[in-house]
Amino acid sequence: MKHLIHAVTIASAIIAGPALAEGWTLVPDGSHLAYGSIKKDTVGEVNSFTSLSGTVSPDGQAMIEIDLSSIETNIDIRNERMIEYVFRKAGTATLTAEIDMSELSALEVGQTTTVDSEAVLSLAGADVEFDAELFVVRLSENSVLVTTNDMVFISTEDAGVNAGVDKLMELAELPGITRTVPVTARLMFELNGEQASAEPATTTEVAAVTVPGDARAGKKVFRKCSACHKLKEGRNGVGPTLFGILGAQAGQVEGFKYSAALNDSGITWDAQTLSGFLADPRGSVPGNKMQFPGLKKDEDIVNLLAYLQEEAQG
């Protein structure tokens, strides 16, 4: 189910091509959406959906539909249990995304690029927001291939399916099923109708300069943190939520059990103290439980702080 989420981000990337009179339509035979799961700590499996459909409009509106009844786990009874207990008999899941067309310049045939995409997965009354980096290849004048550039990890808790996973464990008498799922996607799209113009649109080239305090660059840095930390208020994970962190006192997020070192540190998280902690968590606050070794580039730290200021301050 986590994989569903990827589809939409991928669809979004398609729009990156030259100015087009028509939108794009997903090619089912050339597309593949898969996810992995691990049971009993050591048994790994790959599952997929065999029926996908979708479109991307000329103005950047992407929509992918996943037929949940097409789940393929290679065991019939498990397919049935996934549909009944995990997907709760919902017929389809929908992925939607809006793409900023200005991010992408025209791709010539054979050219590639990477783009960032944000999306929303709607499944049985639950909406899950996520983002992913996508790799885009223009195969021909009328076709584009989009894949996830890295694996994307989705939490069963965020997707609202923990109870269904619990039921699967009970029925199969399993001691455990992982609650974080890696997802990969390959989506092929074909252009509807004819290309608007054979002549590429005139564009203004802008030098790619990294600016200190760039929140957009900081968003990419945050991917190193996102496995443990959320940015939403009240959403703790392996680590405490980072919502409202700038200006907050260390060790005070409600519902999270901190180490004594952080509880007693007396630190207020401002740009200076947070920069020092991000560079060397263990050295900055000896005895704290954070396993992350730290960010080694000053530029990454500055950009991450800009992103936290923009996204996590309420």
Q: Which residues of 254-268 are buried (b: 16+ CB within 10 A; e: fewer)?
A: eeeebeebbeebebe
> In this structure, are 187 and 220 located in the same domain?
no
pLDDT tens track for 238-248: 889 999 998 89
User: Is residue 208, in this structure, part of any structural domain at all?
Assistant: no
For β-strands 152-155 and 180-191, DSSP reports them as antiparallel
As a whole number, mean pLDDT of residues 154-161 equals 89
Residues making up the chain, counted from first to last: 314
CATH number at residue 177: 2.40.128.110
- Say how far apart CA 307 and CA 66 lie, in whole Å: 32
> In this structure, are 38 and 163 located in the same domain?
yes
Q: Long-range contact list for 219-223, CB < 8 A, 24+ apart?
A: 219/116, 219/131, 219/307, 219/311, 220/116, 220/133, 221/295, 221/300, 221/303, 221/304, 221/307, 222/304, 222/307, 222/308
Domain boundaries, position 71:
2-191
Query: Which structure tokens are listed for 168?
Result: 């699967």
> In this structure, are 153 and 229 located in the same domain?
no
> In this structure, are 252 and 156 located in the same domain?
no
User: Is residue 203, in this structure, part of any structural domain at all?
Assistant: no
> In this structure, are 219 and 180 located in the same domain?
no
Evaluate if pTM is beyond 0.85. Answer: no
Question: Total domain count for the chain?
Answer: 2
Amino acid letter, residue 222: F
> In this structure, are 243 and 158 located in the same domain?
no
> In this structure, are 110 and 156 located in the same domain?
yes
Complete DSSP assignment for 68-94: GGGEE-S-HHHHHHIIIIISTT-SEEE
Amino acid letter, residue 220: K
Question: Closest Cα to residue 303, out of 225, 189, 207, 193?
Answer: 225
User: What percentage of the chain has pLDDT greater than the value 90?
Assistant: 28
User: Is residue 300, in this structure, part of any structural domain at all?
Assistant: yes
Cβ atoms < 10 Å from Cβ of 80 = 13
Distant-in-sequence, close-in-space partners of 59: CB < 8 Å, separation ≥ 6: 101
pLDDT tens track for 269-312: 988 899 899 999 988 899 988 888 888 888 888 889 888 888 87
User: Is residue 251, in this structure, part of any structural domain at all?
Assistant: yes
How sure is the predictor about 194, in pLDDT bands with cuts at 50, 70 and 90? very low
User: Is residue 207, in this structure, part of any structural domain at all?
Assistant: no
Res 134: pLDDT: 83
> In this structure, are 183 and 121 located in the same domain?
yes
Q: Is the pLDDT of residue 126 over 80?
A: yes
Q: Last residue of some domain: 156, 176, 191? A: 191
User: Is residue 210, in this structure, part of any structural domain at all?
Assistant: no
> In this structure, are 102 and 152 located in the same domain?
yes
User: Is residue 205, in this structure, part of any structural domain at all?
Assistant: no
CATH number at residue 259: 1.10.760.10
Res 148: pLDDT: 86
Do 128 and 152 form a contact (C-beta atoms < 8 A)? no
> In this structure, are 292 and 154 located in the same domain?
no
User: Is residue 278, in this structure, part of any structural domain at all?
Assistant: yes
> In this structure, are 123 and 245 located in the same domain?
no
